[in-house]
Amino acid sequence: MKGQLFLNLRLAARRVFFIWGVFLIWALLLNGGSVFALPNEDLRGVSFFYVPERLTLTFQSEQEQEQEQEQEQEEYPYTLQELSLVIQGDGPAGKMMSCQDKVNLRSQLVKLAEIFDRPPVDARLSWDENNEITIVPEQEGRSLEVDSLFLCLANPGFYQERYALPVKKVRPEVTAEELREKLPRKLWAQYSTQLTDIPDRTENVRLASYYLNGLIVEPGEEISFNETVGAREKERGFREAKVIVGGRFENGLGGGVCQVSSTFYNALLLSGLQITERHNHSVRIAYVPLGRDATVVYGQKDLQFKNNTDSYLLIRTKLEDLCLTIAVYGAGECPFQGINLYNKIIKMYPAAQIIKTDPSFPGKYKIAEKGQNGYLVEMYRQIDSGGEKKTEKLSRDYYAPVDAVLIRNE
């Protein structure tokens, strides 16, 4: 009899614990899994406390909100431990959270900013598939306001599962609207030089001018001819042609590129632009006047200029019938008018004549190498800017004389 009574009590206890377990599970589902709070208001003090372990930082751009796009927010999940945050209690209005290590919290938020921040991208000019200038729109940047987020999390307050990131917009410096006013469509200046009919040299001129063609220069930007054209290498298509070495003409890779840089130099001078680096040849060349040449040697001597205007510039090149033309385009009228280039020959150095004897030569004599005089030259540019004429000395150049070589048979 006692055994049966003990068995009945045991079964009754099991039923009670089973019912209690079902009731607890029902309470958990009813309250979203955050707190096992009994629905009866009178029993709210008899609640089981659940400690959350994570929170999520979220961001959604205003553009996405305005367009009402159904896109997922950017989410950055953290454990509370990673941010040194702890849950301290459960009050009537929610769980209380505090920070145990503010140094670590700030460090984690700074690391988040490094991932989250995005610099603005200025609007820029580019080329479309029809080889016409087009405007690539600007892109707004963003910057996480670390201090604001730190104060939100570091100070004691109520725990939330999700926190919206405080973000500051970063505006680009150049917008598409501003660029439309600065499109380089007006010809400011151009200059042409004539080539000799030497196929390899002409190919070098064509290739160098090809790399220069379509160059867009921003206001205040400094441009390097060598960086724009690139190394004169056989792998890039450059050929052997005459170059000046030690005052003499001999074959070298990329011969003829200096005609492109010299033609470009004159177009820049006639546009009123600021020249920041330029070198003259060691001897006089025939395709531009004295003092108006610009030799370039990759990695050694360069032609550089700065866009000292508020306009974007466009460089156009054309090689047609052995005539090379380089043009500079800007927005509206060129700010520099009435440009006049002139030189002053300070001194002339006559070329010497060297006679060599060759008994095997059939004729009486021949000119093996033509000589040319040397010069000391000063170059000037006169500019009319706003009705005021300004004259600047551009350079003082020395060109060595080249001795003439004659061969005779006696």
**Do 82 and 166 belong to one domain?**
yes
Overall domain count for the chain: 2
* Same-domain status, 88 and 201: no
Q: What is the C-alpha to C-alpha distance for residues 395 and 391, in angstroms, rounded to an integer?
A: 12
- Residue 184: which of 306, 333, 336, 329 has the closest Cα? 329
pLDDT, tens digit, 9 for 90 and up, residues 46-92: 344 455 788 888 888 765 444 455 556 899 999 999 999 998 877 66
264 and 396 both lie in a single domain = yes
Confidence bin at 8 (pLDDT 50/70/90): low
What's the pLDDT at 384?
A: 82
In the structure, what pLDDT confidence band is assigned to residue 95 with cuts at 50, 70 and 90?
confident
* Residues 274 and 305 occupy one common structural domain: yes
* Together in a domain, 265 and 194: yes
Residues 135 and 170 in one domain: yes
Mean pLDDT of the chain: 84
Token readout for 314 is 């466009």
Instruction: Tell me the pairing of strands 353-357 and 404-408.
Output: parallel
| pTM of the predicted structure, to 2 decimals | 0.67
Q: Quick one: 167 and 89 in the same domain? A: yes
Decide: helix, strand or coil at residue 67. Answer: helix
DSSP state of 332: S
The answer on 186 and 160 residing in a single domain is no
Torsion on CA atoms 246, 249, 255, 260, rounded to nearest 10: 80
Note whether residue 371 is domain-resident: yes
Q: What's the one-letter identity of residue 133?
A: I
Q: For residues 22-42, give the mean pLDDT.
A: 45
Pairing state of beta strands 162-164 and 54-59? parallel
How long, in residues, is the chain?
A: 410
Q: Let me know: does 252 contact 238? Beta carbons within 8 Å.
A: no
303/292 Cα distance (integer angstroms): 12
Does 27 or 131 have the greater pLDDT score?
A: 131
Which range, 248-252, 274-278, 385-389, is most confident? 274-278
Tokens for 316, please give them.
């156009």
111 band by pLDDT with thresholds 50, 70 and 90? very high
- One domain for residues 378 and 249: yes
Closest CA to 329 of 122, 174, 178, 125: 125
Q: Which residue has the tokens 């080539």?
A: 195
DSSP per-residue string spanning 138-165:
PB-EEEE-HHHHHHHHHS-EE--SEEEP
Bridge partner list, 158: 96
Are residues 84 and 143 both part of a single domain? yes
| Average pLDDT of span 338-349 | 95
111 located within any domain: yes
- C-alpha 21/C-alpha 13 separation (Å) is 12
β-strands 157-158, 141-144 pairing? unpaired
pLDDT for residue 19: 60
Which of 178, 200, 232 is the endpoint of a domain?
A: 178
Is residue 114, in this structure, part of any structural domain at all? yes
The angle at the Cα of 227, spanning 223 to 230, to the nearest 5 degrees, equals: 145
- Between 47 and 244, the more confident residue is 244
Domain assignment present for 123: yes
101-110, 253-262, 398-407: lowest mean pLDDT where?
398-407
pLDDT of residue 86: 92
Tell me whether residue 70 is in a domain. Answer: yes
**Gap between the Cα atoms of 179 and 130, Å rounded:** 20
Q: What is the mean pLDDT of residues 366-370?
A: 78
pLDDT score, position 361: 67
Q: What secondary structure letter does DSSP report for 231?
A: -
Domain extent for 157: 50-178
Rounded Cα distance between 86 and 83, Å, is 9
Q: Which of 112, 143, 178 is the last residue of a domain?
A: 178
Where helices occur in 119-256 by DSSP H, the ranges are 146-154, 176-180, 199-212, 225-229
Q: What is the pLDDT of residue 15?
A: 63
In a domain, 289, yes or no: yes
Tell me, yes or no, whether 112 lies in a domain. Answer: yes
Whether residue 214 is found in the same domain as residue 350: yes
Which of 134, 162, 178 is a domain's end point?
A: 178
162 & 197 share domain:
no
Please write the tens of the pLDDT for every residue from 136-169.
999 999 999 999 999 999 998 888 899 999 999 9
355 in a domain, yes or no?
A: yes
93 versus 207: which is more confidently predicted?
Answer: 207
Tens digits of per-residue pLDDT, 223-243?
A: 999 999 999 999 999 998 888
